[in-house]
Amino acid sequence: MNLKLRWAFIAVVIIWALFSMFPLNQNLKLGLDLQGGMHVVLGVDTDKAVEAKVEAIANQLRKELAIEKVDFSYVQKISNNSVSISLKSTDAFEKAKGIIADNYQSLQDISISGENNLSYMLDKQSADRVRDYAVEQSLEVVRNRIDEFGVSEPVIQRQGKKQVVVQLPGVTDPDRAISLIGKTAQLKFYIVDDNVSAEEAESGNIPFDDKVLYQKQSDDSTGQTINRFPFVVKKDAVLTGDYLVDAEVSISSTYNLPIVQFTLDAAGAKLFEEITADNIGNRMAIVLDDNVYSAPVIKSRIPGCSAYIDGIDSMQEAKDLAIVLRAGSLPAPVKIEENRTVGPSLGQDSINSGIKAALIGLCLIVVFILVYYRMACIVANVALATNFILILGVMSQFGATLTLPGIAGIILTIGMSVDANVLIFERVREELRMGRTPMNALEYGYEKAFSTIMDANITTIIAAIVLFQFGTGPIKGFAVTLSIGILASLFTAIFVTKAVFWTILRGKDVKKLSI
């Protein structure tokens, strides 16, 4: 390539990198370990998602058999992934079997010889789909909640089969963030069975189609549960939060306490009106994550599409509840498997330590090259400076995040850049010893060192790709900066340094090269 074109290309690349970099504090994203924040790994309980799916199938099957007038004793979930059906006659047995074969292809027959009894389990393929959907849906719900929370540039991504990674830079209230992220927020409405006493509820002496839920009472100062009041409700929820379209915080005009008003869609409003019309005089429990918030008496048919949740202790709790209701419920419970919080001051200390390490390493390299390669030190230093600019420019342009391991990757690539120059300089020295002129020695030196440099850097890039593919968090940050640094060092060692040498030696009758 013509020398002028070579320099023009180098200038364009450097100018592009500089424009991408500055202002550096705006264009270069810092990781949690450098700017502070929290890193949370959520484990999704996918078995609970399968269990909920089987429960839903059992409820639907119970309704369908009743509609088709199939005479059955019970339809119930007997384990996490199986359903048992007891029929009252042979005709009912055959009819039920036909309905299940036609409408429930995801169920696998595991019945053993038993008169008029059927057993089914969710087949493996369907169960795997439910598990995968639970993780994907959890990812989306968490993303919606974080958007409502107002964190800038969060990182929310799937990890493995059952995990969701959440990184929240700059979070100042990690406890509140964890509460928002991890709350299942499954809103359900149950009809209360007031025919069962509190004593019977506590002893477990309740009808088979009922279950016990509790209203928790907490200490205002500690937040700890100090009492639980039992409610016996019908086992099947009459309405769920799937119909909810909005939730807002308000103040109760009666008690001057915070409430959360929620709005149902058209289908939910119609269903709510039908339920209230059919249950006048009964109580309806409003339940969130198996905690009964309130259980008002239905006094009349309630038309419209809005209702409210009361029994909330504080305005902050009401705001957070509105956020999770708007964002939707998690399809399965999640648990915090890893939680790391880095304060802003510790992040700044990491930045200072990284810069200090980089400067010390750079100075030692410059001194070594100056002593050992003399005039060629100028060329190597130009390559080092260009390499550093290109790394930061590429990271800024493509939105890569700089982490503490990433700084280590940059320092490593600085050394690798010098390593490429050392290979070239040593080959040039060998050519000079063979009696070649400086220009010829440079030409042959670059040509013979090229394959060695490429082999060494390609193998390192392969290792970096493997780290990025299978690593997580800090490991990926190291892999990204290492890969960018290797490509930048190849450009500077082979392209930039050659242009500098040619510019110095062009048109001059140089007899001796200081290298």
Do residue 387 and residue 451 come from a single domain? Answer: yes
**Within a domain: 453:** yes
Give the CATH number of the domain where residue 110 resides: 3.30.70.990
Do residue 238 and residue 200 come from a single domain? Answer: yes
H or E element, residue 131: helix 124-149
List, edge to edge, every strand of the sheet that includes 291-294. 225-234, 210-218, 291-294, 284-288, 187-191, 239-240
In three-state secondary structure terms, 221 is: coil
- Write out the two tokens for 467: 């780290």
Query: pLDDT above 90 covers what percent of the chain?
Result: 13
State how far the Cα of 143 lies from the Cα of 242, in Å rounded to an integer.
18
Do residue 483 and residue 396 come from a single domain? Answer: yes
**What tens-digit pLDDT sequence spans the chain (515 residues)?**
677 888 889 899 999 988 888 776 666 777 777 777 888 999 999 999 999 889 889 888 988 998 889 899 888 888 888 999 998 888 999 899 899 988 888 998 888 766 788 999 999 999 999 999 999 989 988 888 888 777 777 888 898 889 999 988 877 788 888 888 888 888 889 999 988 887 888 787 888 888 999 888 766 666 566 678 889 999 888 888 888 888 888 888 777 888 888 888 888 888 989 999 999 999 999 888 888 888 888 888 888 777 888 877 788 888 888 888 888 888 888 999 988 887 766 667 777 887 788 788 778 888 887 887 777 778 888 888 888 889 888 888 887 778 888 888 888 887 778 888 888 888 888 888 888 888 888 888 888 888 888 888 899 899 999 988 887 667 888 888 889 989 998 888 888 888 888 887 776 666 677 67
> Is this model's pTM higher than 0.85 or not?
no
**Within a domain: 159:** no
User: Across the chain, what does the average pLDDT equal?
Assistant: 84
**Within a domain: 43:** no
Which residue among 79, 102, 123 closes a domain?
123
Residues 6 or more apart in contact with residue 340 via CB below 8 angstroms: 32, 38, 39, 40
Do residue 333 and residue 349 come from a single domain? Answer: no
Q: Domain span at residue 471?
A: 3-36+344-505
Give tens-digit pLDDT for 353-393.
877 887 887 788 888 878 877 777 788 888 888 888 898 88
**Within a domain: 14:** yes
Contact between 457 and 490 under an 8 Å Cβ cutoff? The reply is yes
Do residue 75 and residue 9 come from a single domain? Answer: no
Number of domains making up the chain: 3
Do residue 222 and residue 299 come from a single domain? Answer: yes
Give tens-digit pLDDT for 201-233.
878 788 888 899 988 876 666 656 667 888 999
Do residue 286 and residue 365 come from a single domain? Answer: no
Which residue among 290, 309, 340 closes a domain?
340
- Write out the two tokens for 127: 């169960």
**Distance set, CA 103 to CA 55, 98, 100, 426 (Å):** 16, 9, 5, 77
Contact between 69 and 198 under an 8 Å Cβ cutoff? The reply is no
Beta-bridged to residue 283, according to DSSP, are: 297
Cβ neighbours around 30 below 10 Å, total: 20
